């Protein structure tokens, strides 16, 4: 559900498909990641509380059945804690049937907030944050300008969980290219295991023609994985995870070559077996293409 697309495209996690998408910012304050095209066409701005209150009031009238609200755009948690609490309270007071609010958050957003700030946000009804880990490998993170490190990502994820929020984390298969697939896989497995998020999604890298990483492909500085390479890398990540608490794992996004899902650590062997069945067949599969079709 979405009524607010006058300023650039709107993105939300698949699990928020039925939520009201409340854009508290337009775009992403970071907007530097070399693989990400999501907000390249949006001029970043923070919406005023007055503007947001008006949107909430109109949306609650139009969609009184709304049960969930999702705060966008790319890093809604960048807003000051008091402003976020105002927005959370306004949503709960205005939508008659609401029972959960979620938001995108970068590791830097979470690390800028104190544990007390995060607890206050949880108490005000922020139930889940979605954090893009992308990679646990510092060299990959530096290369793609993610603005964090593996250690800082672990710290951020743990802070969200310690505050009592659910944490849905995303990783990006193929982000190290052929050049760093092993390091990317092993360090990503380390980071996700250290965080042990509530949910973990593995998406497959697709490189559109309008991002800096695409130029690196053209000039030969970055070599995308083959279809087999993507599956082997996911296999390596999964096989090295060491979750102590149940983590719902999904790799069934439209970008993924083979849908895999289950709960870690219990279903790890079954998911690995699924990948092992498909890896030999992947040699004849074209990987997901960029918009030139020439990977
Ligand atoms: S922080 Fe997220 S939304 Fe912003 S540029 Fe990076 S990947 Fe894209």
Q: Whose CA is nearest to atom 2 of ligand 1?
A: 74
pLDDT > 70: what percent of the chain? Answer: 95
User: What CATH code is carried by the domain that includes residue 134?
Assistant: 3.20.20.70
Is the beta carbon of 12 within 6 A of some atom in ligand 1?
A: no
Residues 140-177: pLDDT tens digits?
999 999 999 999 999 999 999 999 999 999 999 999 99
Q: How many Å lie between the centroid of ligand 1 and the Cα of residue 53?
A: 26
- pLDDT (tens digit per residue) in 100-125: 999 999 999 999 999 999 999 999 99
Q: 46 is in which domain, residue-wise?
A: 14-284
* Residue 6 forms part of a structural domain: no
Residue 197 belongs to a domain = yes
pLDDT number for residue 263: 98
Does residue 2 sit within a domain? no
pLDDT at residue 286 greater than cutoff 70: no
In a domain, 289, yes or no: no
The pLDDT of residue 206 is: 92
Residue 200 in contact with residue 247, Cβ under 8 Å?
yes
Residue among 33, 107, 152 whose CB has most ligand 1 atoms within 8 A, to mutate: 33
Task: Give the model confidence (pLDDT) of 4-29 as tens digits.
Answer: 666 778 888 888 889 999 999 999 99
* Domain total in the chain: 1
Q: Which residues contact 6 (CB under 8 A, 6 or more apart)?
A: none
H/E run at residue 26:
strand 25-26
* Residue 86 domain flag: yes
Nearest of 186, 77, 69 to residue 139 by alpha carbon: 186
Does residue 5 form part of some domain? no
Question: Mean pLDDT over all residues of the chain?
Answer: 93
Q: State the alpha helices, DSSP H only, in 7-68.
A: 49-62
CA distance 76 to 176: 27
pLDDT attached to residue 294: 42
What confidence score (pLDDT) does residue 283 get? Answer: 83
Interval between CA 77 and ligand 1 midpoint (Å): 13
Q: Has residue 291 been placed in a domain? A: no
Pocket residue to mutate for ligand 1, from 34, 35, 74, 146, most atoms within 8 A of Cβ = 74
Q: What is the pLDDT of residue 3?
A: 55
Residue 7 belongs to a domain: no
CA 280 – ligand 1 centroid, Å: 34
Quick one: pLDDT at residue 6?
66
Query: Average of pLDDT values for 77-97?
Result: 97
pLDDT score of 287: 58
By CB neighbour count within 10 A (0-12 exposed, 13-18 middle, 19+ buried), where does 259 fall? exposed
For residue range 51-85, what is the model confidence (pLDDT) as tens digits? 999 999 999 999 999 999 999 998 899 999 999 99
């Amino acid at each position: 559900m979405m009524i607010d697309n006058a300023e650039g495209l709107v993105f939300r996690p698949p699990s928020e498909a039925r939520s009201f998408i409340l854009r508290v910012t337009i775009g992403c304050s970071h907007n530097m990641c070399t693989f990400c095209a999501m907000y390249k066409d949006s001029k970043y701005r923070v919406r005023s509380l007055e503007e947001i209150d008006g949107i909430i009031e109109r949306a609650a009238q139009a969609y009184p059945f709304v049960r969930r609200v999702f705060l966008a755009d790319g890093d809604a948690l960048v807003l000051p804690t008091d402003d976020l609490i105002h927005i959370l309270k306004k949503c709960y007071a205005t939508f008659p049937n609401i029972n959960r609010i979620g938001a995108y958050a970068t590791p830097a957003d979470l690390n800028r907030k104190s544990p007390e700030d995060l607890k206050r946000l949880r108490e005000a009804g922020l139930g889940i944050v979605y954090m893009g880990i992308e990679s646990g490998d510092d060299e990959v993170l530096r290369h793609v300008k993610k603005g964090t490190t593996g250690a800082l990502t672990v710290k951020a994820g743990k802070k969200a969980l310690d505050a009592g929020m659910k944490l849905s984390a995303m990783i990006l298969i193929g982000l190290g290219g052929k050049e760093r697939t092993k390091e990317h896989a092993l360090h990503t497995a380390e980071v996700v295991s250290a965080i042990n998020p509530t949910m973990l999604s593995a998406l497959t890298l697709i490189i559109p023609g309008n991002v800096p990483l695409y130029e690196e492909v053209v000039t030969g500085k970055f070599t995308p994985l083959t279809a087999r390479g993507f599956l082997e890398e996911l296999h390596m990540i999964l096989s090295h995870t060491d979750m102590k608490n149940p983590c719902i794992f999904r790799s069934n996004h439209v970008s993924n070559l083979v849908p895999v899902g289950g709960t870690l650590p219990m279903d790890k062997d079954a998911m690995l077996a699924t990948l092992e069945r498909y890896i030999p067949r992947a040699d004849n599969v074209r990987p997901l293409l960029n918009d030139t079709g020439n990977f």
